[in-house]
Amino acid sequence: MSPGARRAFVGLGSNLGDRLEHLERAAELLAAPGDVVAASSVYETEPVGGPEQGPYLNAVIELSTSDSPHRLLERCRALEDDAQRVRTVAFGPRTLDADVLLVGDERVHEPDLVVPHPRMYERRFVLVPLAELAPGLVPPDALASAVGRVRPVGTLTRFATSVTRSDR
């Protein structure tokens, strides 16, 4: 890890259009500064909350970055813009959802950003891929109480060999 860098995790999800392509493109753009360390497997998941909608594909990306949580949020919004995400219904279907999950041990509680992500420990579609990359960051009882079903469906092609299963 470079000086000033810390571990950060971004969650990606898509349930509109070419779901896997949206995740692949987001991972590639996120990797452009060279700070992506690993990507989890891709999981098909049932939607949690919101209107009736189709299943999602989800993954978590690990970064080693000196970006602030707000800078990571800007990067996530740029990924969503690139995927032409339209925000019309809360928790509704989307081409891409990109969420800042964790940034080192930083805590942020502001109207536009909460870190750690406020609902991550309640959602299996975040916890399963996060535990794949950083099992020490997922409390043992969290998976048991989290909602939603997940099913592994593959990998993000660009990162298929970079998955790591241990805390560094």
The candidate with the shortest Cα–Cα distance to 123, out of 146, 150, 145, 144, is: 146
What per-residue confidence (pLDDT) applies to 55? 93
Scanning the structure block, which residue is given the tokens 């497997």? 41
What per-residue confidence (pLDDT) applies to 33? 81
What per-residue confidence (pLDDT) applies to 3? 66
What per-residue confidence (pLDDT) applies to 4? 78
Asked whether the beta carbons of 102 and 116 are under 8 A apart, the reply is yes
Domains and CATH numbers, the chain: 6-159 (3.30.70.560)
Instruction: Give me the active site residues, please.
Output: 85, 94, 97, 99
Asked whether the beta carbons of 129 and 58 are under 8 A apart, the reply is yes
Cis peptide before 140 (omega within 30 of 0): no
Measure CA of the first residue to CA of the last residue in the chain; give whole Å: 10
Helix (H) or strand (E) holding 130: helix 124-133
What per-residue confidence (pLDDT) applies to 160? 52
What per-residue confidence (pLDDT) applies to 127? 92
Burial letters 80-90, b for 16+ CB under 10 A, else e? beebebeeeee
What per-residue confidence (pLDDT) applies to 161? 43
pLDDT per residue over 46-64, tens digit each?
A: 888 777 888 999 999 999 9
- Count of C-beta atoms within a 10 Å radius of residue 93: 19
Model confidence, pTM: 0.88
| pLDDT lower than 50: segments of the chain | 161-168
pLDDT per residue over 65-85, tens digit each?
A: 999 999 999 999 999 988 887
What per-residue confidence (pLDDT) applies to 164? 40
What per-residue confidence (pLDDT) applies to 81? 87
